[in-house]
Amino acid sequence: MPREQVLAAAMAAIAEHGLARLTMAGLGRQVGMSGGHLLYYFGSKDRLLLETLRWSEEQLGERRRQALARTGLSARERLAAYAELYLPEGPGDPRWTLWIEVWGRSSAGREVREGQVAIEEPWHRDLARLLAEGAAAGEFAPGDQEAAAVRIRALLDGFSTPIAIGLPGVRRAESLAHVSAALDALLGIGR
């Protein structure tokens, strides 16, 4: 079975039941492999989680790179596209379920923590580059773009988590509007 099919099945199973309830034997049955075969390829559920998240983020990363490379858009418009891709689609978003699982496990082990950092790095790098472009073009206030990228990603994570876990009254559209206002304030837009 192709690796992508295993990862897609793992993503769906983790999103539906969480990592704690996922068994390699159960996933193996879904994809027509033995649990032992999956363990041979992935080594552990943590490794399967990281590989599934990496696979998911590679797909989304391609969409992010395309959005950020669009010509004819201002840096602020491309930043809005970045935020739209970053926030979950809604409660139970499979990609965000993977992130929440990784965050919950990263304090317990170096491998997960290092994997998390490596998977997050392209998001940070692309954002810092976009902020530098916007500052150079005079769209954003000058300043430490690395620090601004850290603040913006924390802001996006803060708005994303309640959406992903389905907190009552939290909606994606309103969260995007709050993010937009906060970005304008952080980046000195409209002053």
pLDDT digits (tens, 9 = 90+) for 51-96: 999 999 999 999 999 999 999 999 999 999 999 999 999 998 999 9
**Measured on CA atoms in the order 186, 146, 60, 162, is the torsion positive or negative?**
negative
pTM of the entire structure?
0.89
Instruction: Report residue 1's pLDDT band, with 50, 70 and 90 as the boundaries.
Output: low
Residue 45 pLDDT > 70: yes
Encode 31-48: b = buried (16+ Cβ within 10 Å), e = exposed: bebeeeebbeebeebbeb
Give me the residue spans of the domains in the chain.
45-186
Q: What pLDDT is attached to residue 59?
A: 92
Encode 139-166: b = buried (16+ Cβ within 10 Å), e = exposed: bbeeeebeebbeebbebbeebbbbbbee
Q: Render pLDDT for 117-134 as a digit per residue (tens, 0 to 9).
A: 999 999 999 999 999 999
CATH class of 45-186: mainly alpha
**Distance, CA of 70 to CA of 23 (rounded, Å):** 42
